[in-house]
């Protein structure tokens, strides 16, 4: 029998948890909720960490946490500070006894971890004025004449990044932490902070069970904000504002999630398989520790029956320093879809090799689709063991980079996406199938011969072998490549030196002396056909059937209104007349190293017969992600906002 436990700002933790006698805190209700129960939270702002969560037992016996219908519920990891003292000019201070922070003082905790490259001496503290996060500076003198303190240089592209230099970028703070007190100083410009809502981070998480294997949990319809989350590389305890803590079958849906210091939703690993040992010890490369992490997990309890299979859907996630969704190992077998993700890593207060709107390692059989990702330093990054992964029907706009697939051997599918960044695609992998995409930006293709990474028995976490990235073994069919002024490497010409069949490849390899080193010298086959190359995009020199028009610019853009997101594109007649095949498990050559087919997570054949907006493709496919286009100008609703979190 399902029980309802109620929580209200007018309640008491000595209450009964009924609608007429509700609890005061969500954590109290969580400690009593049993499999099948639902915790209903009523209107208000709750400032607490929800940690005493029991496990659900099955899909039909979940423990659900949800906002009451038509009521706005906010859960924050911050507290209001309203006793600021004026110091000088626009500078104010507040002195806080360290007992206020209990066991965790974010102002005394440095940003730290493997693959964190530029930390700018940042702590996990944060100050907000009326919901707007300030920038941290290193000392009191920097408060007097503040300048923007973030990096405007993108460390990946080595280019300056445009930033809107508003007055808000000069709201800055610093902290002086002593044995008994923490003094926070802030420049609020022309505001008197005691007349505004000023909040500071005090908690590392908002929702995180104390125990691992806390399964079958649903989080629904909340606003969740303000957490002092630590940097989350794949070799550490990966944490977020919502943290599944090495469990399975969580659902996070219809939530409005924002302002996490690092990551918003963590579906990744816990601490026993690795704790930033490269940064602590400096005795092995991070790459070696990550391999050890994978084997520790396989030798422990990382398997489909125990870990992963999460669902993150229909959320708005924005303004986080590292990720909207992060996960290593624990992200396997999961679904991340129909989320609106923006402003991730854009403040550039710190830099490391783990920043993206969605950053997943070992996303085995994970599907990431129908997400709108914009104004991020990097839209999505799939790193290590991208196998059985499908990246489908996503819209990327106004990112510094859009999509990165790294050191993986496939099979993985990238289909029906729109990539528009000047730097659109990093392909540092092999074994991919790129089908029916628009790619309107540079492609960077790299081999990784010195970093052999694991691949798996299909649809399993069992390790089947290791391989470096030789480059190639990729399939490009039915894509539209569109050039841009002053941007090079748009198209498939990057593969001009590659072979085109397994037979040709084997024949060349066995003419080279040696064993494994012979495979380093011969490029793997690529399978490229039926693509369009417009506005100076360049084709693969052995492609048999393609369209190329250097003079035609389809004037691609992404626009947005209250209803949703639109693709604006001008189509020449010849593009509609030229069609490619509808691809499936049966038409896509299996990947060489893993010796595996492109198929669904259940092992059944996959057919790519629907477009970005789920229209059915006919016997032959129009190129690109939209099946029903008209000659000339098109404005097509490609992503709707109606299914997102209520009122957002």
* Alpha carbon distance 600, 585 (integer Å): 9
* Alpha carbon distance 558, 643 (integer Å): 20
Predicted local distance difference test score (pLDDT) of residue 150: 53
Nearest to 172 by CA among 229, 130, 202, 127: 127
Question: By the 8 A CB rule, do 532 and 546 touch?
Answer: yes
End-to-end CA distance of the chain: 33
Query: 586 pairs with which residues across the strands?
Result: none
Q: Tell whether 443 and 583 lie within a shared domain.
A: yes
Where is the domain boundary, 56, 72, 88? 72
Mean pLDDT of the chain, nearest integer: 94
Q: Tell whether 10 and 83 lie within a shared domain.
A: no
Query: 443 pairs with which residues across the strands?
Result: 425
Predicted local distance difference test score (pLDDT) of residue 399: 97
* Alpha carbon distance 306, 323 (integer Å): 25
Q: Tell me the pLDDT tens digit for each residue of 524-581.
A: 999 999 999 999 999 999 999 999 999 999 999 999 999 999 999 999 988 999 999 9
Predicted local distance difference test score (pLDDT) of residue 1: 60
Q: Is residue 476 part of a domain?
A: yes
Q: Tell me the pLDDT tens digit for each residue of 55-71.
A: 999 999 999 999 999 99
| 159 vs 334, more confident | 334
Residue 165 banded pLDDT, cuts 50, 70, 90 = very low
Q: Tell whether 538 and 439 lie within a shared domain.
A: yes
Predicted local distance difference test score (pLDDT) of residue 648: 47
If you count DSSP H runs as helices and E runs as strands, how many of each does the chain have, helices first? 7, 54
Q: Is residue 332 part of a domain?
A: no
* Cα Rg, the chain, nearest whole Å: 25
Q: Is residue 155 part of a domain?
A: yes
Q: Tell whether 26 and 91 lie within a shared domain.
A: no
Predicted local distance difference test score (pLDDT) of residue 151: 54
Q: Is residue 206 part of a domain?
A: no
Predicted local distance difference test score (pLDDT) of residue 379: 98
Scored b (16 or more CB within 10 A) or e, 90-111 reads bbbbbebeeeebeeebbbebeb
Predicted local distance difference test score (pLDDT) of residue 647: 47
Q: Tell whether 468 and 597 lie within a shared domain.
A: yes
Q: Is residue 624 part of a domain?
A: yes
Q: Tell whether 535 and 585 lie within a shared domain.
A: yes
For range 141-149, the mean pLDDT: 77
Question: By the 8 A CB rule, do 34 and 23 touch?
Answer: no
Predicted local distance difference test score (pLDDT) of residue 605: 97
* Alpha carbon distance 433, 591 (integer Å): 10
* Alpha carbon distance 185, 324 (integer Å): 29
Question: By the 8 A CB rule, do 575 and 457 touch?
Answer: no
**Distances from the Cα of 614 to the Cα of 58, 291, 439, angstroms:** 31, 39, 20
Q: Is residue 211 part of a domain?
A: no
Phi, psi of 96 (to 5 degrees): -120, 130
Look up the domain containing 491 and give its range: 432-643
CB atoms inside a 10 Å sphere around CB 247: 26
Predicted local distance difference test score (pLDDT) of residue 170: 83
Contacts of 278 (CB under 8 A, 6+ apart): 114, 235, 284, 285, 286, 289
Predicted local distance difference test score (pLDDT) of residue 643: 75
Residue 427 banded pLDDT, cuts 50, 70, 90 = very high
Q: Is residue 598 part of a domain?
A: yes
Domain total of the chain: 3
Is residue 195 helix, strand or coil?
A: helix
Predicted local distance difference test score (pLDDT) of residue 191: 95
Q: Tell me the pLDDT tens digit for each residue of 270-297.
A: 999 999 999 999 999 999 999 999 999 9
Q: Tell whether 185 and 131 lie within a shared domain.
A: yes
User: Residue 2 above 90 pLDDT?
Assistant: no
Name the DSSP class of 421. Answer: S
Torsion of CA 68, 69, 72, 76, to 10 degrees: 40
* Alpha carbon distance 284, 175 (integer Å): 34
For range 91-107, the mean pLDDT: 97
Share of the chain above pLDDT 70, in %: 96
pTM: 0.97
Q: Tell whether 454 and 533 lie within a shared domain.
A: yes
Q: Tell whether 581 and 443 lie within a shared domain.
A: yes
Query: 534 pairs with which residues across the strands?
Result: 482, 549
Predicted local distance difference test score (pLDDT) of residue 573: 87
**Distances from the Cα of 62 to the Cα of 37, 38, 51, 122, angstroms:** 7, 8, 17, 39
Q: Tell me the pLDDT tens digit for each residue of 443-501.
A: 999 999 999 999 999 999 999 999 999 999 999 999 999 999 999 999 999 999 999 99
Predicted local distance difference test score (pLDDT) of residue 619: 81
Residue/partner pairs of 449-456 with CB below 8 Å, 24 or more apart:
449/520, 451/287, 451/407, 453/291, 453/384, 453/385, 453/407, 453/408, 453/409, 454/291, 454/294, 454/384, 454/385, 455/385, 455/387, 455/408, 455/409, 455/593, 455/594, 456/364, 456/385, 456/387, 456/594
Nearest to 93 by CA among 107, 81, 78: 81
Q: Tell whether 53 and 167 lie within a shared domain.
A: no
Q: Is residue 497 part of a domain?
A: yes
- CATH of residue 111's domain is 2.60.40.1180
- CATH of residue 22's domain is 3.30.1910
Where is the domain boundary, 49, 72, 95? 72
For range 170-177, the mean pLDDT: 94
Q: Tell me the pLDDT tens digit for each residue of 46-57.
A: 999 999 999 999
Q: Sheet containing 127-129: give its strands across.
A: 78-80, 198-201, 127-129, 132-133
Q: Tell whether 456 and 604 lie within a shared domain.
A: yes
For range 95-118, the mean pLDDT: 96
Name the DSSP class of 411. Answer: -
Where is the domain boundary, 170, 201, 232? 201
Q: Tell whether 65 and 147 lie within a shared domain.
A: no
**Distances from the Cα of 259 to the Cα of 79, 126, 229, 337, 380, angstroms:** 14, 10, 10, 21, 19
**Distances from the Cα of 358 to the Cα of 95, 190, 322, 361, 487, angstroms:** 37, 37, 9, 10, 25
Contacts of 20 (CB under 8 A, 6+ apart): none
For range 189-215, the mean pLDDT: 97
Query: Six-digit token pair at 406?
Result: 């790294």
Predicted local distance difference test score (pLDDT) of residue 518: 85
């Amino acid at each position: 029998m399902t029980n309802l436990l109620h929580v209200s700002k007018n309640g008491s933790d000595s209450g009964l948890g009924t609608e007429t006698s509700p609890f005061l805190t969500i954590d109290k209700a969580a400690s009593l909720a049993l499999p099948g129960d639902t915790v209903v939270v009523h209107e208000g702002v709750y400032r607490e960490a929800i940690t005493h969560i029991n496990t659900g037992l099955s899909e039909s016996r979940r423990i659900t946490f949800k906002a009451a219908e038509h009521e706005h519920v906010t859960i924050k990891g911050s507290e209001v500070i309203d006793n600021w003292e004026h110091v000088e000019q626009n500078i104010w201070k507040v002195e806080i006894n360290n007992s206020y922070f209990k066991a965790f003082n974010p102002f005394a905790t440095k940003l730290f971890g493997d693959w964190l490259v530029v930390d700018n001496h940042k702590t996990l503290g944060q100050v907000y004025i009326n919901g707007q996060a300030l920038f941290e500076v290193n000392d009191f003198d920097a408060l007097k004449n503040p300048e923007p303190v973030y990096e405007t240089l993108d460390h990946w592209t080595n280019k300056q990044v445009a930033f809107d230099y508003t007055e808000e970028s000069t709201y800055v703070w610093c902290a002086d932490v002593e044995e008994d007190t923490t003094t926070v100083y802030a420049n609020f410009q022309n505001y008197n902070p005691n007349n505004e809502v000023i909040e500071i981070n005090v908690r590392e998480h908002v929702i995180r069970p104390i125990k691992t294997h806390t399964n079958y949990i649903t989080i629904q319809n909340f606003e969740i904000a303000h957490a002092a989350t630590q940097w989350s590389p794949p070799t550490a305890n990966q944490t977020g504002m919502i943290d599944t803590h090495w469990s399975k079958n969580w659902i996070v849906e219809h939530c409005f999630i924002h302002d996490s210091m690092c990551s918003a939703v963590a579906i990744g690993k816990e601490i026993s398989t690795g704790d930033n040992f490269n940064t602590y010890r400096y005795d092995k490369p991070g790459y070696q520790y990550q391999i050890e992490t994978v084997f520790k997990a396989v030798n422990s309890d990382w398997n489909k029956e125990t870990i992963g299979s999460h669902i993150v859907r229909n959320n708005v996630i924005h303004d986080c320093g590292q990720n909207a969704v992060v996960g290593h190992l624990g992200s396997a077998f999961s679904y991340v879809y129909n989320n609106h993700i923006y402003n991730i890593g854009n403040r550039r207060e710190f830099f490391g090799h783990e920043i993206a709107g969605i950053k997943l390692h070992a996303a085995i059989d994970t599907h990431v689709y129908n997400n709108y990702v914009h104004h991020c330093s990097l839209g999505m990054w799939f790193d290590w063991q991208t196998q059985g992964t499908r990246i489908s029907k996503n819209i990327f706009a106004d990112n510094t980079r859009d999509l990165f697939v790294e050191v993986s051997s496939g099979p993985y599918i990238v289909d029906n996406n729109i990539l528009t960044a000047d730097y659109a695609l990093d392909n540092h992998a092999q074994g991919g199938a790129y089908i029916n995409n628009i790619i309107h930006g540079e492609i960077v293709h790299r081999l990784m011969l010195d970093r052999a990474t694991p691949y798996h028995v299909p649809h399993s976490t069992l390790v089947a072998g290791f391989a470096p990235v030789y480059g190639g073994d990729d399939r490009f069919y039915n894509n539209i490549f569109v050039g841009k002024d002053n941007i090079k490497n748009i198209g498939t010409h990057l593969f001009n030196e590659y072979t085109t069949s397994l037979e040709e490849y084997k024949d060349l390899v066995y003419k080279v002396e040696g064993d494994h080193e012979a495979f380093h010298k011969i490029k793997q086959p690529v399978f490229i056909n039926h693509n369009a190359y417009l506005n100076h995009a360049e084709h693969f020199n052995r492609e048999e059937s393609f369209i190329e028009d250097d003079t035609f610019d389809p004037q691609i853009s992404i626009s947005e209104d209250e209803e949703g997101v639109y693709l604006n594109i001008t189509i020449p007649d010849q593009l509609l007349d030229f069609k490619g095949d509808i691809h499936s498990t049966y038409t896509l050559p299996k990947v060489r190293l893993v010796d595996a087919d492109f198929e669904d997570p259940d092992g059944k054949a996959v057919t790519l017969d629907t477009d970005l907006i789920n229209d059915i493709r006919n016997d032959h496919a129009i190129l690109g992600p939209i099946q029903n286009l008209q000659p000339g100008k098109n404005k097509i609703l490609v992503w709707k906002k109606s299914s997102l979190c209520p009122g957002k």
